Amino acid sequence: MGMENDILKILLSEEEIKAKVQEIGAAISRDYEGKNLLLVGALKGCVVFMADLMREITVHAKIDFMAVSSYGSGVKSTGVVRILKDLDRDIAGYDVLIIEDILDSGKTLFYLKKLLAERKPASIKIATLLDKPERREADIVPDYVGFVVPNEFVVGYGLDYDEKYRNLPYIGVLKPAVYEK
Ligand code: IMP
Ligand code: MG
């Protein structure tokens, strides 16, 4: 069976996501005029959002990636973060914009932002496609947010469950039976 069969409902359609990504891209293009923009994608969830967002940005932008993994399994983040892949460049003097798929407890981004801030960028901000403020445990506020979503586990458009569903073009909620397998 295909992936579609595991989806209970579509939360955000391709059209809704596209319109929102255009809006965020326009805001970033205004705010970063004349700056030294470096987009830092947090792998792997960022890939679809970042690929679409960067094409909506009309000012000069460089890109780089970080891969961090929180210890602990599955759905819950522990806040202890391990660097799996670091940036290729020194970010001193850059206006860093971290690109995330979802801000949940906020522990991962809290750590990542702190780590990057120590490297003396000119500025550091966060753009997240989804925000689940109900779940926040760390003191972190995103600068650009696509959608505030309810406390439900969502997949698609880069977001995974057990590394699957990242390639769904929309964002949906999984059928409970999928977790119970
Ligand atoms: P945090 O440290 O709790 O904010 O964890 C953020 C990370 O948890 C995200 O980058 C996702 O990889 C994962 N995550 C949190 N909520 C969801 C969800 O609803 N669907 C898929 N992944 C999620
Ligand atoms: Mg994940």
Residues 25-40: pLDDT tens digits?
999 999 999 999 999 9
Please give the full DSSP string across 85-137, using - where no structure is assigned: E--SS--TT-EEEEEEEEESSSHHHHHHHHHHHTT--SEEEEEEEEE-GGG--
Which residue has tokens 């926040």? 136
In percent, the amount of the chain with pLDDT more than 70 equals 94
pLDDT > 80? residue 70:
no
Q: Which pLDDT score, from 0 to 100, does residue 100 have?
A: 97
| Average pLDDT score over residue span 70-97 | 81
| Average pLDDT score over residue span 81-99 | 95
**Phi then psi for 43, rounded to 5 degrees?**
-70, 155
Split at pLDDT 50, 70, 90, the class of 64 is: very high
pLDDT > 90? residue 158:
yes
pLDDT > 60? residue 54:
yes
Q: Which pLDDT score, from 0 to 100, does residue 71 have?
A: 62
- For residue 43, the CA-to-ligand 2 centroid distance in Å is 9
- Nearest ligand (C-alpha, residue 75): 1
- For residue 89, the CA-to-ligand 2 centroid distance in Å is 25
Split at pLDDT 50, 70, 90, the class of 123 is: very high
Ramachandran quadrant class, 63 (left: phi over 0; alpha: psi -120 to 50; beta: rest): beta
pTM of the model: 0.94
- For residue 79, the CA-to-ligand 2 centroid distance in Å is 14
| Average pLDDT score over residue span 134-140 | 93
Split at pLDDT 50, 70, 90, the class of 121 is: very high
Count of other CB atoms within 10 angstroms of residue 117: 13
Which protein residue's CA is at the shortest distance from atom 17 of ligand 1?
Answer: 153
Which protein residue's CA is at the shortest distance from atom 5 of ligand 1?
Answer: 104
- Nearest ligand (C-alpha, residue 163): 2
